[in-house]
Amino acid sequence: MSSATILLVNGPNLNLLGVREPEVYGTTTLADVEALVQRVAAEAGYAVRAIQSNHEGVLIDAIHDARTTCAGIVINPGGLTHTSVVLRDALTGVSLPFAEVHISDVYERESFRHHSYLTDVAAVHVVGEGIDGYARATRELIEYINAH
């Protein structure tokens, strides 16, 4: 296992960052997010492997693969947050600590966004801090990994 690698997972529609609802998500692109997480992780001596997919099974396969190659996961599951028991099962099944991050404050949006299948099993939970939330989630996850 590479104890110095973080898997960055971005779920459905996050490939549209920068163009999708900029009033909610801003104008920062997914490539910018990935670069930010890589910079923050590198400061602590960690590498980052990033994946984005609009397909749940692809994300689950990447999480399964991380079991033997990564120390933890930073995930913005997008809409799967509110619907996917199988994503939760994949994350708990690999026994890696993970940080759940959301760009917008899901608790100030539509009521269906208030429930997350991941929050109660996440080591770190960051909501509503915009793109900067990825940096905080990465730092806090690395602190958690280093402490355990």
Binding site members? 76, 82, 89, 103-104, 113
Residue 134 annotated among the catalytic residues of the structure: no
C-beta neighbour count of 89 within 10 angstroms: 14
Binding site as annotated, residues for substrate: 76, 82, 89, 103-104, 113
Helix axes 85-93, 56-66, angle to 10 degrees: 10
Q: Which of 25, 46, 117, 134 is an active site residue?
A: 25
* 42: three-class secondary structure by DSSP: helix
Helix axes 30-43, 132-147, angle to 10 degrees: 30
Q: How far apart are CA 107 and CA 39, in angstroms?
A: 29
- What is the torsion angle, in degrees rounded to the nearest 10, for the CA atoms of residue 40, residue 62, residue 92 and residue 115? 80
Residue 25 annotated among the catalytic residues of the structure: yes
HEC readout, 96-126 = CCEEEEECCCHHHCCHHHHCCCCHHHCCEEE
Q: Which of 46, 102, 117, 134 is an active site residue?
A: 102
List, by residue number, the catalytic residues: 25, 102
